[in-house]
């Protein structure tokens, strides 16, 4: 019985394998026919030979590839195919170039290089703007000590509008690095990394070149990469850079600020921070005289149950209170941003008590410079829980410091901070419906008006939320004309700047006011003129 079942099982397997073969043949036939029909559009002889030649080149069978590409060239000449004539020369050059790389540095390799150059030059005569050919000849020159000529060709290749020229830019950076100009190399690597966000090698080489030749430039590069969303790479590079050389105190602080800033743009469970690459590697700096305190406090932030501002003195004092940083943000602002981000993480997972603790910490980190963004986040959190009375209490508690901080920002002309303070105050007063007026600082109208002035100084387009809140504040005070006039003023500005979206947003409520008879004749005229200036799809 056993034997019989084994025999029949074997038979089944034979049948299965045979069936498989039959199926393969069955399927392959129409496909081959289809391939042939595609090839007929070109030249079947040429296509077959090209396929053979490329296959041989991929398999690094250089002599077979060379011979096959020679055949391709002969066919191209016979059929008068100029494209394949040029491409044959390119491939002949490539074949010899790759062969030379395998041969090392002996006379055979030199002969292959010389031959490769000849073929590439013929290709270039037929296709002078080939980024591929220019790049590859440059690599030939670079490998044989003709760096200047290589640089010239790579510059030409880079200037072409060819997606492949990114390879040339990276080769150019490598060549500069090799010839001792690491500072320029760092700039080109940075350029390649910025244009190819998934090019990890370019990023790593940029960082290495900056560390080697332009350490002070590293911070600027990493801040740019952070703005482009490379939060993990920046975090790891900043940590690795700290380990790779002795830095001046200011740069050490900046690199730690970059770590905090990149952590603030990630979404993670604070309890898992200890196991991260950053935490493990930063631990070695816990005793560092400049940043040791910051490293210890960073760990503390992620583990502490009680978030007392006095436990974070290193970060609260890091940076100048009275001027903006030369680039990026001051360490204490990066740290505040991280605290808010952790608060936001807790809020999203529903632990509102913990979220409140984080926002409170950010608010109170440095009472000489209160964090207006954290104040607003806290007010938003209270409103989301219908705790309007807590918003009221918050304002009573923090108003002196918010006004003091705003005053300090004015004294040192830090306009971004001035804007943040007015915006937070204006929106929180709006929550409390303390509309007030232009002469009452403790009111939504006063603060929002000043927020818009600050935005104008910063050459920022006024945030529609602010304009709308201010207009609503006027309208709530029955100052309909003032509200509509504000809407019209900014709508007209937006129309002038061809920002029809914002204009439309501001104009929309005026339709209701007009219908309710609350719009004066002059405003009706301005409103209708604004509508006429809007492009047809935006008209309502």
Partner 1 sequence: MNKHLRSVIALLGACATVCTTGLLATGAAGQAIPPPLVRTTVVIDSSLLRDNLDPAELERARQELAAYAAEKLPNPGFDYMRWLPAQLQPALPSVAELRVVIHQRSFSGIPRLILEYQAFLGGTQISLSSIAAQPIYDGPAPSVHSVDRLIADVKSLRLDKDLPNEDFRRRLGEEFLRNIPLSEKVIVEAGKPDIILPLEFDALHASDQSRLYVEFTAQPDTQPADTGIMRLRPIKKVRAGTFEGGVNCRVYMFEFKDVSVPEPGGDDPRVLVILAPPSVKSLRVFMEKFERRAGTLITTPGP
Q: Which stretch binds partner 1 (CB under 8 A): 208-216, 310-318, 322-330, 464-472?
A: 464-472
Residue 76 · residue 46 · CB < 8 Å = yes
Q: Is 215 in the site for partner 1 (CB under 8 A)?
A: no
- Which of 184, 199 has the CB closer to partner 1? 199
Q: Is 132 in the site for partner 1 (CB under 8 A)?
A: yes
- Which of 58, 246 has the CB closer to partner 1? 58
Q: Which helix (H) or strand (E) holds 404?
A: helix 388-411
User: 18 to 57, contacts with partner 1 by CB under 8 A?
Assistant: 18, 20-21, 23-24, 27-28, 31-32, 34-35, 38, 51-52, 54-55
Euclidean distance between CA atoms 238 and 191, whole angstroms: 19
Please report how close the Cβ of residue 213 comes to partner 1 at its closest, in angstroms. 21
Residues written for the chain: 540
DSSP labels, 248-293: -HHHHHHHHHHHHHHHHTS---GGGGGGSHHHHHHGGGTT-TTTHH
Q: Which of 75, 174, 361, 470 binds partner 1 (CB under 8 A)?
A: 174
Euclidean distance between CA atoms 409 and 503, whole angstroms: 31
Q: Is 6 in the site for partner 1 (CB under 8 A)?
A: yes
- Which of 251, 502 has the CB closer to partner 1? 502
Q: Which of 231, 286, 290, 352 binds partner 1 (CB under 8 A)?
A: 231
Please report how close the Cβ of residue 24 comes to partner 1 at its closest, in angstroms. 6
DSSP labels, 199-238: -HHHHHHHHHHHHHH-HHHHHHHHHHHHHTT-HHHHHHHH
Backbone angles phi, psi at 347, to 5 degrees: -65, -45
Contact characters 368-407, partner 1, x per CB under 8 A: --------x---x--xxxx-x-------------------
Q: Is 16 in the site for partner 1 (CB under 8 A)?
A: yes
Residue where the block lists tokens 């072409």: 160
User: 92 to 131, contacts with partner 1 by CB under 8 A?
Assistant: 94, 97-98, 123, 127, 130-131
Per-position b or e across 236-272, b if 16+ CB within 10 A of its CB: bbbbbbbeeeebeeebbbbbbbbbbbbbbbeeeebee
Q: Is 179 in the site for partner 1 (CB under 8 A)?
A: no
Cβ neighbors of 532 (< 8 A, separation 6 or more) are: none
- Which of 386, 532 has the CB closer to partner 1? 386
Q: Which of 71, 81, 85, 87 binds partner 1 (CB under 8 A)?
A: 87
Please report how close the Cβ of residue 484 comes to partner 1 at its closest, in angstroms. 15
Q: Which stretch binds partner 1 (CB under 8 A): 161-169, 209-217, 249-257, 434-442?
A: 161-169
User: 182 to 201, contacts with partner 1 by CB under 8 A?
Assistant: 196-201
Cβ neighbors of 278 (< 8 A, separation 6 or more) are: 235, 236, 239, 259, 263
Number of H helices, E strands in the chain: 26, 0
User: 503 to 532, contacts with partner 1 by CB under 8 A?
Assistant: 504-505, 508-509
Cβ burial of 493 (10 Å; 0-12, 13-18, 19+) is middle
Contact characters 415-454, partner 1, x per CB under 8 A: ------------x---------------------------
User: 308 to 327, contacts with partner 1 by CB under 8 A?
Assistant: none
- Which of 32, 323 has the CB closer to partner 1? 32
Cβ burial of 25 (10 Å; 0-12, 13-18, 19+) is exposed
Q: Which of 82, 105, 121, 164 binds partner 1 (CB under 8 A)?
A: 164
User: 281 to 300, contacts with partner 1 by CB under 8 A?
Assistant: none
DSSP labels, 144-163: TT-HHHHHHHHHHHHHSS-T
Q: Which of 7, 40, 42, 59 binds partner 1 (CB under 8 A)?
A: 59
């Amino acid at each position: 019985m056993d034997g019989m079942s084994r025999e029949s099982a074997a038979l089944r397997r034979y049948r299965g394998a045979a069936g498989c073969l039959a199926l393969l043949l069955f399927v392959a036939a129409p496909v081959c026919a289809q391939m042939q029909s595609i090839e007929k559009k070109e030249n079947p002889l040429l296509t077959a030979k090209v396929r053979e030649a490329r296959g041989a080149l991929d398999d690094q069978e250089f002599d077979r590839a060379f011979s096959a590409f020679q055949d391709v060239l002969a066919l191209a000449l016979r059929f008068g195919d100029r494209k394949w004539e040029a491409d044959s020369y390119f491939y002949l050059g490539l074949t010899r170039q790759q062969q030379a790389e395998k041969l090392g540095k002996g006379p055979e390799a030199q002969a292959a290089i010389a031959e490769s150059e000849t073929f590439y030059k013929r290709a270039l005569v037929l296709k002078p703007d080939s980024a591929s050919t220019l790049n590859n000849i440059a690599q030939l020159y670079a490998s044989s000590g003709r760096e200047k000529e290589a640089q010239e060709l790579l510059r030409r290749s880079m200037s072409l509008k060819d997606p492949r020229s990114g390879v040339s830019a990276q080769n150019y950076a490598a060549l500069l690095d090799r010839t001792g100009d690491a500072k320029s190399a760092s700039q080109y690597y940075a350029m390649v990394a910025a244009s190819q966000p998934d090019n990890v090698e370019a990023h790593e080489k940029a960082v290495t070149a900056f560390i080697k030749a332009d350490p002070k430039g590293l911070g600027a590069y990493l801040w740019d990469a952070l703005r482009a969303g490379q939060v993990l790479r920046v975090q790891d590079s900043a940590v690795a850079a700290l380990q790779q050389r002795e830095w001046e105190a200011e740069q050490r602080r900046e690199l730690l600020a970059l770590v905090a800033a990149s952590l603030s743009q990630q979404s993670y469970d604070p309890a898992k921070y200890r196991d991260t690459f950053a935490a493990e590697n930063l631990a070695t700096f816990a005793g560092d005289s400049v940043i040791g305190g910051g490293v210890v406090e960073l760990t503390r932030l992620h583990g502490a149950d009680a978030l007392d501002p006095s436990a974070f003195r290193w970060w609260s004092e890091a940076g100048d209170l009275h001027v903006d940083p030369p680039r990026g943000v001051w360490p204490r602002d990066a740290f505040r941003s991280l605290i808010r981000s952790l608060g936001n993480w807790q809020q999203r997972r529903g632990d509102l008590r913990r979220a409140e603790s984080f926002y409170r910490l950010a608010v109170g980190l440095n009472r000489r410079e209160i964090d207006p963004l954290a104040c607003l986040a806290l007010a938003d959190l209270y409103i989301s829980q219908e705790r309007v009375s807590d918003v009221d209490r918050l304002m009573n508690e923090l108003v002196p410091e918010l006004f003091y901080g705003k005053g300090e920002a004015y004294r040192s002309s830090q306009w971004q901070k001035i804007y943040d303070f007015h915006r937070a105050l204006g929106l929180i007063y709006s929550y409390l419906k303390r509309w007030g007026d232009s002469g009452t600082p403790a009111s939504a109208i006063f603060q929002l008006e000043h927020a818009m002035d600050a935005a104008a100084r910063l050459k920022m387009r006024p945030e529609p939320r602010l304009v709308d809140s201010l207009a609503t504040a006027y309208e709530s005070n029955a100052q309909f004309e003032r509200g509509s006039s504000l809407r019209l003023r900014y709508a007209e500005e937006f129309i002038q700047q061809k920002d029809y979206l914002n204009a439309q947003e501001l104009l929309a409520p005026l339709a209701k006011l007009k219908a309710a008879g609350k719009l004066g004749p002059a405003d009706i005229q301005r409103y209708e003129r604004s509508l006429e200036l809007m492009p047809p799809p935006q008209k309502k």
